[in-house]
Amino acid sequence: MAGGKLTPRQKMINLMYLVFIAMLALNMSKEVLTAFGNFNDKFSESNKLTEQSNATLLSALDTKATDEPAKYAEPSRKAKEVAKISKDFVAFLETVKAEVTEGIEPDETGKLPFESMDKSTIDEKWFAGDGYSPRETEIVSKIDKYVADVKKVLGNDVKYIPFIKEIEKKFSTADITNREGVKQKFLDYKTKGFPAVSTLTFITAMQNDVKNTEAGAYNLFLGNALQSAASMKNFQAIVVLDKNAYFAGEQVTGKVVLGRYDANTVPTSFKGPGKIENGQAVISMTAGGIGEQNISGEFGFLEDGKEIPLKFEGKYVVVPRPNQAIISADKMNVVYRGVPNPISISVPGIASNKVNASAPGMSKVGDGKFMLKPGSGSEVKINVNATMPDGKSMSSSQVFRIKGLPAPTGKVGGSEKNKGPKSNLEVCSITAVMEDFDFPVTVNVTQFNVKVPGQPTIVVSGNRMDTRARSAIAKAQKGDVVVISEIKASFTGIDQMAKKVSICTYEIQ
């Protein structure tokens, strides 16, 4: 930190000044007086350069306070107070310098005649016997007030203690013991009986000390703000995995990084699924579809008056929410031959569009939806292949039994009623249906037998009564039960014969 540390050039200047002060005890030559004057000019030049540098530092702090007020507003406020205190004190010291050079006219170039400034010009104004005059008391009080005002701005923070001690030492107005061991008052020791050029240089050097103190304070404020922000107390080790869900046996990859949770680091803008709380983005959103999903956004931070974007992105995996128990009847893994069997296939943690299946007679009709129309054989094996979020594939299989279609049930006229007048039976058709079967199957009756009590059995082709059957039914008596048997049928669009159709009866009323 720059506070209190002098540059090599400044150290050289101070050393030279001490040498020149020591030489005052000797008879002052014109060369020595000129050297003092040149030294005063160097201090003045240094003050101008330091003032420009201080203005830049103060402006930088002001910009930081605008960009990050939570972190830099207080340091900027303190810096502005130090700037005002220093400006007022430097202005007061200018009035003191005017006093020292009163009555001394500069040459045509504006330069003071240092060689002729070999007499004191302030002894009668500043000193009254062994004590201070009101003017000298005022000067000492102003120096002490400057130190007190700067200390008040710095406060009681322990980080400022070394800097405060240096200021107290640099601007001390305590009595000084001379080489003879006699204590002298501060201004007596520094200026009483000295040539005007020496006193002028002494005051200009004090202005230089003020400028350097001001620079040290600015760097101290800026440095402490950065040091506080960079403190390891604000950091936390954060585990960042490449994704947020893994399968058993899968390689877990990621990294551990240092992240800083700082409520003072407040972005000027945030784009993403959440909001900023205490220097961090709190995510709140609805999960996407099943499978791996992306999450991304952008912070915006103001730096040097410009917004700097900071993008982020990550991944998470959505798995199906369990909403029911999966119950399987171990002996019911059955598909029916000749009809399209709808099959739904899913793999937990993998999107349905990443799941495929294959088997003889199987086709895909949608994401996770398949249709299986098995052919010959007694079993069919369904092979499942899925692509996991990490790009790797997994496979599984399951065997289903193939069964033929169940036997149809015979019906008279397709009705549940199995009795009525014989005139109805004469004109109705004989049908067969697949009762309690969930597949849409159409059954066509091609032949059946009719047995009327007391009459020979009649074989009828087709599904309606012919002339012989109607003649036999006409002879039936009330209460007779007509039996329809040996029903033969076929399936529409299905290349297989129907199993034996059950008989049906009709009671004559």
Domain boundary pick from 179, 212, 230: 230
Mean pLDDT of 424-447: 87
* 269 lies in the same domain as 157: no
* 249 lies in the same domain as 148: no
Question: What pLDDT sits at residue 230?
Answer: 38
| Helix, strand or coil, per DSSP, at residue 327 | coil
The answer to whether residues 445 and 431 touch, using CB atoms and an 8 Å cutoff, is: yes
* Top-confidence residue, 284 or 204: 204
Nearest to residue 82, comparing CAs of 154, 5, 143? 154
Tell me the pLDDT tens digit for each residue of 437-466: 888 888 899 999 999 999 999 999 999 999
Tell me the pLDDT tens digit for each residue of 249-263: 667 777 776 655 555
* 313 lies in the same domain as 368: no
* 195 lies in the same domain as 240: no
Determine the structural domain holding residue 125 and report its residue range: 8-230
* 294 lies in the same domain as 399: no
Domain total for the chain? 4
Question: What pLDDT sits at residue 227?
Answer: 44
Question: What pLDDT sits at residue 199?
Answer: 81
Query: Residue 240: beta bridge partners?
Result: 255
* 220 lies in the same domain as 207: yes
* 218 lies in the same domain as 343: no
Tell me the pLDDT tens digit for each residue of 326-349: 556 666 789 988 888 898 888 877
Whether residue 232 is predicted with pLDDT greater than 70 in this model: the reply is no
* 199 lies in the same domain as 217: yes
* 102 lies in the same domain as 226: yes
Q: Which residue has the tokens 């101290």?
A: 220
Residues in the chain: 509
Q: Say what the pTM is.
A: 0.44
Question: What pLDDT sits at residue 182?
Answer: 86
The answer to whether residues 56 and 304 touch, using CB atoms and an 8 Å cutoff, is: no
* 133 lies in the same domain as 12: yes
CA distance 235 to 87: 40
Among 30-34, 81-85, 225-229, which is the least confidently predicted range?
225-229
* 110 lies in the same domain as 200: yes
Whether residue 226 is predicted with pLDDT greater than 50 in this model: the reply is no
CA distance 75 to 225: 7
The answer to whether residues 72 and 64 touch, using CB atoms and an 8 Å cutoff, is: yes
Question: What pLDDT sits at residue 491?
Answer: 86
* 444 lies in the same domain as 382: no
Nearest to residue 261, comparing CAs of 285, 277, 283, 242? 277
